[in-house]
Structure 1
């Protein structure tokens, strides 16, 4: 039976198309959930929250006296510096800001854990507590919000600005507008030659006292695919001019990003000059509070800074080249999925309509070729009594096809051949019925009546 396999194939195709449509719909909806709207040029691979993750570093001696011992120390002296404390300030500026307001300042090291920090803050007779470079007093906490303040805080461990601000708040007076900026000097020829030699040899110069042990290769490659050169210096002496290496090294290494670290302050020099302010403001605006409390190494801070540089590059602000990203097949195919879904649904509906329009064929096919032959033969006999000269030729041809189909069945010829003859016979009988105007004798309607 040739027709039966064809119908079965159509049914299978119909349900396969429906299945494909369902799968496409699920994939598309899942993709919408996973790939929402992003306000970025691309998806950055950086993890620029490393500074805020995990336990606080323990690079120094974490021991501090008891609350009672520290209370006694503060009572005995207006300024108490615990072992390991690093914060410095302009004493004259602080005295002028304080005026006749009594101050008791307790200065703690930056490598305390949460319990030790809480113990330091529990010293009630301390007017101001400085932990690392974080300055708190009473219910207030003084924080910086510009590059000049962060530069002084992290390059020279200077907390003059936060101290003066907090004292003014405690006294309920206006904050002084003037702030002393860091002083700079040009590096000597010997200093510059030493740094440049290391940069030419390895791309990294780490001065004595610096805590940078190496540049994180993978992070550096995503931040600066063309390469960069790095200078790491320890925190600079308070009150002394800082050597301005950036412009000098840019002249020696043109069109090359130069990263200079003064303690935990990072300077960028090189292509896209505006990039330096954006990168610095973005990084320290996010992590300054965390860095000020804990004794992070330069390795950790540089790694996170480079991640932030990668984020900025992926934002597309500075037209810097992006690293190669493998093609995501789902992302490429996503726009075509709705069309594929619509096509599958349309094909399913078309095949379904065809099946609904020809229900009799399905019933006759379930009975096999003999049943269809019997039905069409009965139709031909009845029509022979009603046809005229216009419809007789088609009826005659249909009867001939039925005789050929019967002979094929008797001779056990291939079922496909039998069904082809039966379909041709049905077409001829249908033509004859339409010609004579007998709608009820069209094969599909006639056979449906016999089945019912």
Structure 2
């Protein structure tokens, strides 16, 4: 018949504290992952890949066969196919061509891959313009400034790209002239009409614009407090743009204002000096190539631009309120986890010392069997050294903790003392190996327990 050790509340509390400390340690360590995400929050703007034809970017325009286009280009140095939208300064382009035989084929935007391939196969076309994308041979010419993108997407002006491409093909220096944007002040009547719509529902759609309604979700994410939107069609080539942005900003300086000319979007309002350039450059640098050759609805272009605005807001680059982010309990509690771990370990050690005092192992009381005291000391050692282990020393520590748990169970069940001693000897060996791998001799069991069990 064997006697069982009574399971006291103090022991239960002591081991519960050790369990909580272990759980807190694991959670804290798992949260310490390295990351390259430097944003203040994760932007909800969509970023999935869009397949061709799924976003309304293909038009009804078609092109003749390659043979027919080849014949047209052979008969005329500039061939404009039905639906072509690109325009340019003819005098500057003639000056760039000089005496060379350079032939230009201009196709409409929104062609699918098969139709664009037929255009590329017209071998006698020196320069091919699809939509407002200018190509020649193996090259593509794209704007390198906001002014160039503005001219391309607001006026369909590809003069700069054509001059650059022709200079590249002729192997001569490119024309250094830059197309400065041309603006005009809107008339009082124009401004009154736009302002009335904006004050009614925040949106003005000019005649000829393809947008029918705002992309509501993207608009809320980009400007939670609301914004004004002026949407106009692409402006006639050679005519100055009506400057609604500055005029409206004078009337509502704290209101974000977006003015859309064709596929070009102007931002005005708070932090416009920095924000407008960043948003415009990053958006058109990424999507300018697709916008130039496809025929996207204005609603899709505006939705994508607002998604970029949302990304910039979540990046925290400007002193603007960030959109709401749901509460993350782990993020809030993470700074407190080390203190919870330390409190649990301290509680475990204090309760272990009190248990040793009651058993007479510590102090002047009658000395009882050394196994419970040795178990408590080795357990305290395992807890302390667990903070210092790594991939090399973790296996030895795990085996040692397993032996300590087996020894505790053997003590509670009243198993023979030699059996308990062997388990503790095994645990001592594993903890000694752990201390050796960690490289701290004071955590070797003989040194650690010397002052506790004497």
Q: TM-score, normalised by structure 1?
A: 0.73
8 A contact 2:258–2:265 mirrored in 1: yes
TM superposition shift of 1:217: 2.0
SS of the aligned residue for 2:134 comes to strand
User: Does the CA contact (< 8 Å) of 2:88 and 2:159 recur in 1?
Assistant: yes
Other-structure match for 2:402: none
Residue aligning to 2:312: 312
Moved more, 301-310 or 178-187: 178-187
> Which residue is equivalent to 2:336?
336
For the Cα contact (< 8 Å) 1:254–1:270, is it kept in 2? yes
Helix, strand or coil at the partner of 1:87? coil
Aligned counterpart in structure 2 of residue 53 of structure 1, from 33, 50, 54: 50
Where do 5+ consecutive residues of structure 1 fail to align?
Answer: 372-443, 446-452
1:117 corresponding residue in structure 2: 116
What is aligned with 1:216? 215
User: CA 1:171–1:352 in 2, change beyond 3 Å: closer, same or farther?
Assistant: farther
Partner in structure 2 of residue 143 of structure 1: 142
**1:292 aligned partner:** 292
Do the aligned partners of 2:58 and 2:112 also contact (CA within 8 Å) in 1? no
> Residue 244 of structure 2 aligns with which residue?
245
- Greater Cα shift, 86-95 or 106-115: 106-115
**1:3-48 deviation line (CA, Å, top 9, x unaligned):** 833269837963x566555544554454344x7243233332223x
What does the per-residue CA deviation read over 1:116-138, in whole Å, with 9 as the maximum and x for residues that have no partner?
A: 22221121111011111111101
Moved more, 121-130 or 55-64: 55-64
CA offset digits 1:264-305 (Å, max 9, x no partner): 110111122312222211211221112112111111111111
1:386-424 CA distance string (max 9 Å, x none): xxxxxxxxxxxxxxxxxxxxxxxxxxxxxxxxxxxxxxx
- The answer (yes or no) to whether the contact 2:211–2:298 under 8 Å persists in 1 is yes
CA distance in 1, matches of 2:409, 2:288: 77
Q: 1:241-271: CA deviations, max 9, x gaps? A: 2211111112232311111001011011112
Unaligned runs of 5+ in 2: 357-370, 376-406, 417-452
Give the structure with the higher percent helix: 1
Query: Secondary structure, in 3 states, of the residue corresponding to 2:140?
Result: strand
The change in CA–CA distance for 1:358 and 1:8 in structure 2 (over 3 A counts) is farther
Q: Secondary structure at the match of 1:4?
A: coil
Partner of 2:378: none
Q: Is the 8 A contact 1:62 1:113 kept in 2?
A: no
- Which residue in the other structure is 1:105 paired with? 104
Q: Distance in 2 between matches of 1:7 and 1:303?
A: 66
User: For 1:267 and 1:291, how far apart are their aligned partners in 2?
Assistant: 16
Provide closer, same or farther for how the CA distance between residues 349 and 227 of structure 1 changes in structure 2, counting only shifts above 3 A.
same
Q: Name the SS for the 2:318 alignment partner.
A: coil
| Aligned partners of 2:87 and 2:156 also within 8 Å | yes
Alpha-carbon offset, residue 99 of structure 1: 0.5
Contact 2:184–2:240 at 8 Å: present in 1 too? yes
Please tell me whether the aligned partners of residues 5 and 411 of structure 2 are also in contact (alpha carbons under 8 angstroms).
no
CA displacement, residues 202-259 of structure 1 (integer Å, 9 cap, x when unaligned): 1100011111111222222222222110000000000112211111112232311111
Instruction: Report the counterpart of residue 395 of structure 2 in structure 1.
Output: none
User: CA, structure 1 residues 335+363, in 2 after alignment: closer, same or farther (shift >3 Å)?
Assistant: closer
Query: Is contact 2:40-2:316 (8 Å) kept?
Result: yes
Return 63-72 or 347-356, whichever deviates more: 347-356
TM-score by length of 2: 0.72
Partner of 1:10: 11
Partner residue of 1:357 out of 370, 373, 387: 373
Structure-2 separation of matches of 1:41 and 1:239: 43
1:72 matched to 2:42? no
Residue aligning to 1:166 = 165
Count residues with an aligned counterpart. Answer: 368
In the TM superposition, what whole-angstrom CA distance separates every residue of 1:343-399 from its partner, at most 9, and x where no partner exists? 65677788899765267998786459xx9xxxxxxxxxxxxxxxxxxxxxxxxxxxx
Q: Which residue of structure 2 lines up, in the alignment, with residue 134 of structure 1?
A: 133
- 2:384 aligned residue: none
Q: Cα 1:123–1:333, aligned 2, differ >3 Å: closer, same or farther?
A: same
- Counterpart contact for 2:245–2:259, Cα < 8 Å: yes
Hey, what's the Cα distance between the residues in 2 that align with 1:364 and 1:166?
88
Q: Would you say the 8 A contact 2:57–2:297 is kept in 1?
A: no
In 1, distance between residues paired with 2:5 and 2:201?
A: 78
Secondary structure class of the residue paired with 2:7: helix
* Residues in 2 aligned to 1:325 and 1:2: alpha-carbon distance in whole angstroms: 59
SS of the equivalent of 2:82 reads coil
Q: Check 1:96–1:31 CA distance in 2 against 1; reply closer, same or farther (3 A cut).
A: same
